[in-house]
Amino acid sequence: MEKEEPSFIEKTKNFANFSWDIINYLNKNGAGSLMVSDETYNVRHEICKSCEMWIKKKDMCAECGCFIPAKAKVVLESCPLDKWSQDKDGWEDALKRLSAKIDEDS
């Protein structure tokens, strides 16, 4: 049985919420702080690929409608089924890097 994607309305709502989170995060932390490490990305992507909601043909999540290679790379993102979460350590590392850069530039 083929999995169905969420409706366009659901995808739009999910994207709007995510966009708002990104804008707030960027205002606080800068653009370079949004990506997880390659190791974290690979773990997330493998979890998604083993999930029953993964649409292989599109590398998409049938639960939220997100393109997995993009979603799994973003530090703020989390799985809607709680299979992986936001990378809070990544946030702390990003904040340390930004703080060091500010100190360096001062």
For the entire predicted model, the pTM comes to: 0.62
Which position has the higher pLDDT, 74 or 84? 84
Rounded distance between C-alpha atoms, residue 88 and residue 14, angstroms: 21
Q: What percent of the chain has pLDDT over 90?
A: 47
Are 55 and 11 a contacting pair, CB within 8 Å?
Answer: no
Segment 18-57, tens digit of pLDDT: 788 777 777 777 665 678 889 999 999 999 999 999 999 9
- 8 A C-beta contact, residue 71 and residue 61: yes
d(CA 30, CA 25): 8
Q: pLDDT grade, residue 97 (50/70/90)?
A: low
What is each CA distance from 54 to 16, 18, 34, 48, 76, in whole angstroms?
22, 20, 24, 6, 20
